[in-house]
Amino acid sequence: MIPAAKGGPFGWALDRYIGWKFRSAFRGLWVRGELPPAGPGRLVYLNHANWWDGFMLHQLSRVAGWDAYCLMDEENLRRYRFLARIGAFSIRRKDAMSSIESLRYAKELLRRPRAALYVFPEGEHRPFGELPLRLERGVEMLARVAKVECVPIGVRYAFFEHELPDVLLEVGTPHPPGPLSVFQTGLETVVKRLMSTTSLEGFTRKVSGARGVAERWDAARGVQA
């Protein structure tokens, strides 16, 4: 298992690089619903829609004030080893002993103050809005072992009337550990809400990003006026 390795000079530099990279690629990070405050450990599970998800989670952690970690397939973490510096740790899903080791490690992480653990229960990238979601049982097992609050969050990367895309997060209702069907319902509920979203109405921008050409032009005209 590859453990998380947060902190240090490289971690500090990576924090700032990821923030700059995210803000330059998107108009902003928008949230609808209440993000739970930093406190006792919690499990946050999301749909896995995009390569950018790791960078997005980094920004979400800063906004929410969570000391966040992310469970990641070991092959992918070896490929992107730098993600361990922002809280990723590995699991080999087809290796029973490795999975047990990762679950124990996750349980210990969740005992830390302000800890949050991100899990993508689909196990791989899937096109946004492809229903029904196909979840793996690992999220259920982890929740039962850690005995923590579970929070579903839907993720959508969307273009509206602007040049650059926005990142939309739909926060669902927290719930205790339960059978896989509870996680299925929780995640599909927030994904369906995002599927029907046609504007940013009702969302709050938590991270401001870049402006497109049209927005910069409109701002310049406003200054001239």
pLDDT tens digits, residue range 15-27?
A: 999 999 999 999 9
**Residue 207 and residue 28 in contact, taking contact as beta carbons nearer than 8 Å:** yes
Residue 78: half-sphere exposure toward Cβ, Cα within 13 Å: 6
138's CB contacts (< 8 A; 6+ apart) are: 71, 91, 93, 99, 119, 121, 123
Identify any residues that bridge with 28 across adjacent strands, giving them in sequence order: 208
pLDDT tens digits, residue range 150-209?
A: 999 999 999 988 889 999 999 999 999 999 999 999 999 999 999 999 999 999 999 998
pLDDT reading at 224 higher than 50? no
Q: What is the mean pLDDT of residues 27-50?
A: 94
Task: Give the position of tokens 């210990």.
Answer: 108
pLDDT tens digits, residue range 63-106?
A: 999 999 999 989 889 998 888 988 999 988 777 787 889 999 99
The CATH number that domain 8-224 falls under is 3.40.1130
Q: Model's pTM, two decimal places? A: 0.91
**Residue 67 and residue 113 in contact, taking contact as beta carbons nearer than 8 Å:** yes
